[in-house]
Structure 1
């Protein structure tokens, strides 16, 4: 079972951001990304919102780094870690624009892109960009289909859909990953699970509790089988907050704490459900504590994950 991390600092939602992140900047973001790269994390991830309405700003914050710019910046400073958009609200942009941006990122990073996409949830954001919020599900379905064509091996991709229609339009550079970068679908609604099953290379559930994951994984696999798709989807999960070792400060009752073997035993339960990769979030009071936690996980927990 592989593991990755949603980067701190690049989004400051009150649901998960630590207090120190509001005072942090690019140097701190870079240090965390390099720590994840150095210590064997499978991916680093960045969120996506173009604009946050005032009514949601108190909870969501307005700090949401652009994922293409952020992951490109970090690609140049890392060597092997995958670069995941978790998730890009793909329906807000024409698929040729998205393909141009992410193909360039994949090309520059030597094939390290994983394109995670989701439907979005903020009506005002869609309205400001002239996109129909109510129809965002069907829009994302077609956008994914168009992206598969646009990110494939053809320099002049072709796609003919209800909303998007293109052919004889060349885009280069092409992605380094062949036949195309992986495309993971985010969301836990029935529609999102269906979308991931029928169209995705992977599924990114959004914080599903442990007792709900097995049923959704079974449904995804059943839909995929019924659709005649032989290739298994990469199944993800977002773990509870973690703190490796014995914390000396209040880390919250939901946080998993303790020695490496105990934490690994808890995380292996995800593998038993059919999860292939788990996203981690560490409690921390500053950048150094976070990078220390990343190092501690790699040294004390990771060796026991596949026992």
Structure 2
């Protein structure tokens, strides 16, 4: 699941999150850890232009700081950047931050990356927005080298070139999973060819089968047969009868009804689902997390 509080976009944040803070993040993370969730996700934006602030807000916690903070208060749940806009930063800087996070968390990092979509953000940091796809492609290659087992990584590319510079600590994991986010044709192709997994960006159910088929086709044509994680973002969920307006798209009902609905994602070929719960308070969110872990997740096996 994506964490509450750390991003307050009008597209998904609940009203109670506006007055929430670090304690709410910590308690939510602990609840997900107890309930058996696979990962917690944190978003990435450096700065939001005024024109987008009404819809996106300007509240976007830094993912490295946020996930590092939560690594210290959880035991087993993985920590996902969904997604890091890695083209905004030099890969050596990104590698230093996320290698340290993986080291401190005992090897729980999943590095989700994406191209970004806010031109003003790129301009403010001196990065060419028009080249963001090419920058991401090379950044992935550079990060593979910089997050690998070698203390002195080597990468020679058009935008990034480094050799002979040592970085420690190294990641705990021999290979940090790298998932590529996005649903455009370019993003799907990038995920298929360069990623260990794919994170869709809001594909509804009726679009997912074609996207997954395309991923498989690209990988087969390229002769890629290594394990690959296909993700899906579900509709908002509410376990039980809400007794309040949770929205037309929300999947709600008894645990077995919610599970029946979610099993469709597995039938499409998804290996994991990212869920979001409707809630009116931290207490209600934590209750939903616990109910999902105890009563819905076991029915998805």
Give the TM-score band, short-chain normalised: over 0.9
Specify which of 275, 278, 285 is matched with residue 273 of structure 2. Answer: 278
Residue aligned with 2:274, SS: strand
Deviation per CA, 1:176-234: give whole Å up to 9, x if none: 001x2100000000000000000000000011011110111111111111112111320
Correspondence for 2:289 among 246, 269, 294: 294
Matched, 1:141 2:137: yes
CA distances 1:258-293 after superposition (whole Å, capped 9, x unpaired): 011111111000000000010000000000000000
Matches of 1:232 and 1:300, distance apart in 2: 29
Map of 1:1-307 to 2, 5 A cutoff?
A: 5-178=1-174, 180-306=175-301
- Counterpart CA distance in 1 for 2:176 and 2:34 is 23
Give the CA RMSD over aligned residues.
Answer: 0.5
- TM-score, length-scaled by structure 1: 0.97
1: CA distance between counterparts of 2:249 and 2:228?
29
Say which SS state the counterpart of residue 72 (structure 1) adopts: helix
Shift of 1:300: 1.2
TM-score (norm 2): 0.99
Q: Structure 1: which 5+ residue stretches go unaligned?
A: none
Q: Is the 8 A contact 1:259 1:300 kept in 2?
A: no
| Separation of aligned partners in 2, 1:240 and 1:166 | 43
Preserved contact between residue 193 and residue 216 of structure 1 (Cα < 8 Å): yes
SS in 2 for 1:32: helix
Count of residue pairs the alignment pairs up: 301
Contact 1:116 1:186 (8 Å CA) reproduced: yes
Aligned 8 A contact 1:45 1:83 in 2: yes
Q: Secondary structure at the match of 2:110?
A: strand
Runs of 4+ in 1 over 2 A off after TM superposition: none
Q: Could you tell me whether the CA contact under 8 Å between 1:19 and 1:285 is conserved in 2?
A: yes
2:58 counterpart SS class = coil
- Matches of 1:227 and 1:125 in 2, distance apart? 34
